[in-house]
A and B are shown apart, each in its own frame.
Chain A
Amino acid sequence: MVSPTTMAAIRTSGAAPNAEYLLTAEGIRKEFPGVVALDDVQFRLKRGTVHALMGENGAGKSTLMKILAGIYTPDKGDIRLKGQAIRLDSPLDALENGIAMIHQELNLMPFMTVAENIWIRREPKNRFGFVDHAEMRRLTADLFARLKIAIDPETQVRDLSVANRQMVEIAKAVSYESDVLIMDEPTSALTEREVAHLFEIIRDLRRQGIGIVYITHKMNELFEIADEFSVFRDGKYIGTHASTDVTRDDIIRMMVGREITQMFPKEDVPIGDVVLSVENLTLDGVFHDVSFEVRAGEILGVAGLVGSGRSNVAETLFGVTPASSGTIRIHGKPTVIDSPNTAIRNRMAFLTEDRKETGCLLILDILDNMQVAVLQDKFVRNGFVSEKELMRVCEDMSRRLRVKTPNMHERIENLSGGNQQKVLIGRWLLTDPRILILDEPTRGIDVGAKAEIHRLVTELARNGVAVIMISSEMPEVLGMSDRIMVMHEGHVTGFLDRSEATQIKVMELAAQ
């Protein structure tokens, strides 16, 4: 059952495998308090292949990957590297066994240089035992030259863009010269050009016989880069296939265990009056003269590359970073929005881009997370919170959004990304908004939850909410929006109607 591409890869690698599999895991079980994260799971990685792990959030793929990287120890099971049973008690163990991991969350030290970050713990020393900075710079330059990365090794990491930080992480993992490289959604912060660059690097590593475990939610990446893929669902292993043998629908079926008939349940609903109109909105040095309007029942998609100022416009609309100049009108009335509090009082809601940084109160429970915005002006009498009423309302909301949790007192950090996002959406729906701003509403969440969120947005639009939806995922923007506003480097470059919008037209406006 070796796929043709795998065979080709093995041949070109020139190295005869001394075992059929580079890395195997059999019968893996891992429990967390209250959940069985993995139940009798297997995984086999061949030499010189890219093996994608697919599954909804909460399916167990992150847990499996963390076990392979030595971050978690399995309760049961057997891990073999090149046929040898190994025990991984720490990430350092894994590294020393030749397994390196690129985390989704970046783990670089912002106040150290790129070179220092890459060689940390392995710094080249001179004969006095001090760090040899010249040698370190040379090693980094060599590494970057090999990977065709154009970053100055002496830059402090805090001065790099998120995409460049991701490239540094990748270079660092490669520098360990590992046999196995684990990548957790490495493209989530990259633009298309950088993704192409990353894929070049991956193909090169594959030719050298390195096995790559690749986690992604993006179907097209799977077909582009992966040789094989394994699907997981609810902590169980579903199957492994060659990526040439299947269609997109097959994979989705395996992941969710049910048919998703309609990816984008966009309905045509009557479009009402203008709810929000923005004129020449400017935040000095960030974006300029942004003008648009949104009507009741309309979904305005906002497209643009990373760094185009899309999220900044959203933050300014919501008063997080008040505008330098320009006019915001709500129902025709000029309104100054100088803080999120003012925005909420004008019945606006804002689902932010970064769940962890600006969304979740991670150490608090679902109830606390859901109630925090609505407490601004409801469910409070003489300062006292109407606990029972609020509990009932939050439970109803949680049921309506199908949040998977034993009860409302579960800490939000124990939920999967999709469920966290549902809780945060619930937080805003409780405030009964007229204007809903969604910034990357489905980033990093699984197919099932994605479809549910799309259905919900459609339902809100039907009820007359004006929706602004920022998204980097082209199918989402094209599939959900009535109109699309495209931005490039802080300026609006054009509007496209649903009927005329295509991926190519959007990209033309976004990339200019």
Chain B
Amino acid sequence: MSTNSAAQAQVAAQKTARRLPPEISIFLVLVGIALIYEILGWIFIGQSFLLNPQRLTIMILQVSVIGIIAVGVTQVIITGGIDLSSGSMVGMTAMISASFAQASTWPRALYPSLTDLPFIVPVAVGIGIGLLAGLINGQLIARTKIPPFIATLGMMVSARGVSKWYTKGQPVSGLSEQFTFIGTGVWPVVIFLVVALIFHIALRYTRYGKFTYAIGANVQAARVSGINVESHLVKVYAIAGALAGLAGVVTAARAQTAQAGMGVMYELDAIAATVIGGTSLAGGVGRITGTVIGTIILGVMTSGFTFLRVDAYYQEIVKGLIIVAAVVVDVYRQKKRKT
């Protein structure tokens, strides 16, 4: 009898443990980091870190683009893959979409007959080019069975090449106001959060999501269970590409110009945000909510360093340490759950 009630108590304990979503611990990390800055702020600078809406807005604006990419990267990583090409895709899609967003008042438009187009055209072009590049990634991985690391590494190099070749290295400027409007105010944040919401729902409640997790958990079992693994992977990489394309559009609109060097290293920031958010590189585990929090952690870190006037060189060193520490904590947590 006593063992029975003990077992029941344990089951109950497990249930309460389950009610706390895994994001809570990541969220606590975010709160912790913010509080550390708050305290250091009062000690060294004599002002509050958090009670400054302007700073927080700038902070979240800065990471919105990373966040949009990370939503796609999260899905790729859940399937057990990786996407290294998103940063270069940002550069490529920023250049190409900007070339369709130039105003007729600008004397050196790339396509003089295609100026003052409605903003939907450059947006669609940017997303479309990203989608296309993502499709190529997906097809390469699904058909030739080369590792995603290599396929997307190739795309990373080539897409950067395209963005430089497109204007022979010249920036694309003179963008129309209706296009640059996307990058003003809180629009990038809104786009990020809407994208995150859509794919949170997709991963959580649709067949697409269930199959994404199944493939990441065990690709062979997924195949035997009737999932068309190849076409599903193509979908996932295409979505990641389209989101990188959207990120490129937002980047160009925010900067009011496009340059071939845009988005360098963004893929690594996006992967870092994803992993900090609790997505496992081994596949099968991960959530968009975690990625959103991971993205904000990245933003808070950078913004906090600037606030404390820490030298930019130190910033990078510490950022690297924090990324690794976040994953170490996560691995440790997973291990504890298992035994």
Contact with A along B222-244 (1 / 0, CB 8 A): 11111110000000000000000
Is A362's CB under 8 angstroms from B226's CB?
no
Is B213's CB under 8 angstroms from A368's CB?
yes
Pairs A–B under 8 Å by Cβ, sample size 5? A36-B3, A357-B218, A358-B220, A358-B221, A372-B214
- Docked Cα-Cα span, A500 to B295, in Å, equals 69
Is A358's CB under 8 angstroms from B208's CB?
no
User: Which residues 368-386 of A sit at the B interface, judged by CB distance below 8 A?
Assistant: 368, 371-373, 375-376, 380, 383-385
A347 to chain B, nearest CB (A): 12
Query: How would you classify the secondary structure of chain B's contact residues: helix, strand, loop or mixed?
Result: helix
A108 to chain B, nearest CB (A): 20
- B285 interfacial contact with A, CB 8 Å: yes
**Chain A residues near B57 (CB-CB < 8 A):** none
User: Which residues 12-38 of A sit at the B interface, judged by CB distance below 8 A?
Assistant: 32-36
Is A34's CB under 8 angstroms from B214's CB?
no
**Chain A residues near B225 (CB-CB < 8 A):** 340, 344, 372-373, 376, 427
- A201 interfacial contact with B, CB 8 Å: no
**Chain A residues near B285 (CB-CB < 8 A):** 363
Which candidate, B9-17, B91-99, B148-156, B177-185, is the interface stretch facing chain A? B9-17
Closest residue of chain B to A361 (Cβ to Cβ) is B217
- Docked Cα-Cα span, A30 to B10, in Å, equals 14
Is A340's CB under 8 angstroms from B217's CB?
no
Q: Which of A36, A318, A358, A376 contacts B7 (CB 8 A)?
A: A36
- A129 interfacial contact with B, CB 8 Å: no
- B44 interfacial contact with A, CB 8 Å: no
User: Which residues 30-55 of B sit at the A interface, judged by CB distance below 8 A?
Assistant: none
- Docked Cα-Cα span, A373 to B221, in Å, equals 10
Is B224's CB under 8 angstroms from A34's CB?
no
Which B residues form the contact surface with A (CB < 8 A)? 3, 6-7, 10-11, 14-15, 18, 205-208, 210-211, 213-214, 217-218, 220-228, 284-285, 337-339
Is B224's CB under 8 angstroms from A364's CB?
no
B224 to chain A, nearest CB (A): 5
- Docked Cα-Cα span, A266 to B1, in Å, equals 37
Is B11's CB under 8 angstroms from A341's CB?
no
- A264 interfacial contact with B, CB 8 Å: no
Q: Which of B10, B11, B211, B224 contacts A350 (CB 8 A)?
A: B224
User: Which residues 308-364 of A sit at the B interface, judged by CB distance below 8 A?
Assistant: 318, 320, 339-341, 343-344, 350, 352, 357-364
Known A-B contacts A34-B11, A341-B226, A358-B221; the reply to A372 vs B208 at CB < 8 A is no
- A459 interfacial contact with B, CB 8 Å: no
Is A384's CB under 8 angstroms from B210's CB?
no
- A407 interfacial contact with B, CB 8 Å: yes
Is A340's CB under 8 angstroms from B226's CB?
yes
**Chain A residues near B337 (CB-CB < 8 A):** 33
User: Which residues 275-315 of A sit at the B interface, judged by CB distance below 8 A?
Assistant: none
- Docked Cα-Cα span, A33 to B339, in Å, equals 7
- Docked Cα-Cα span, A277 to B102, in Å, equals 66
**Chain B residues near A371 (CB-CB < 8 A):** 210
- Docked Cα-Cα span, A28 to B279, in Å, equals 37
- Docked Cα-Cα span, A318 to B10, in Å, equals 42
**Chain A residues near B206 (CB-CB < 8 A):** 383-385
- Docked Cα-Cα span, A475 to B146, in Å, equals 45
B37 to chain A, nearest CB (A): 35
Is A361's CB under 8 angstroms from B214's CB?
yes
B57 to chain A, nearest CB (A): 35
**Chain A residues near B214 (CB-CB < 8 A):** 361, 364, 368, 372
Is A341's CB under 8 angstroms from B217's CB?
no
A181 to chain B, nearest CB (A): 25
Is B224's CB under 8 angstroms from A383's CB?
no
Known A-B contacts A341-B228, A368-B213, A385-B206; the reply to A361 vs B3 at CB < 8 A is no
Is A39's CB under 8 angstroms from B3's CB?
yes
Is B221's CB under 8 angstroms from A359's CB?
yes
**Chain B residues near A376 (CB-CB < 8 A):** 225-227
**Chain B residues near A35 (CB-CB < 8 A):** 7, 10
Known A-B contacts A341-B227, A375-B211, A427-B225; the reply to A363 vs B217 at CB < 8 A is yes
B92 to chain A, nearest CB (A): 30
Known A-B contacts A33-B14, A36-B7, A385-B206; the reply to A361 vs B221 at CB < 8 A is yes
Is B208's CB under 8 angstroms from A343's CB?
no
Closest residue of chain B to A33 (Cβ to Cβ) is B14
- Docked Cα-Cα span, A239 to B186, in Å, equals 71
- Docked Cα-Cα span, A364 to B313, in Å, equals 42
**Chain B residues near A357 (CB-CB < 8 A):** 218, 220-221
Is A343's CB under 8 angstroms from B220's CB?
no
- Docked Cα-Cα span, A364 to B207, in Å, equals 15
- A387 interfacial contact with B, CB 8 Å: yes
Is A361's CB under 8 angstroms from B218's CB?
yes
User: Which residues 383-397 of A sit at the B interface, judged by CB distance below 8 A?
Assistant: 383-385, 387
Known A-B contacts A361-B214, A364-B214; the reply to A384 vs B11 at CB < 8 A is no
Closest residue of chain B to A348 (Cβ to Cβ) is B226
- Docked Cα-Cα span, A407 to B284, in Å, equals 20
Interface contacts beyond A33-B337, A358-B221, A360-B218: sample of 8 additional A-B pairs, CB < 8 Å, sorted by A: A343-B226, A357-B220, A357-B221, A358-B218, A362-B217, A375-B210, A406-B11, A413-B338
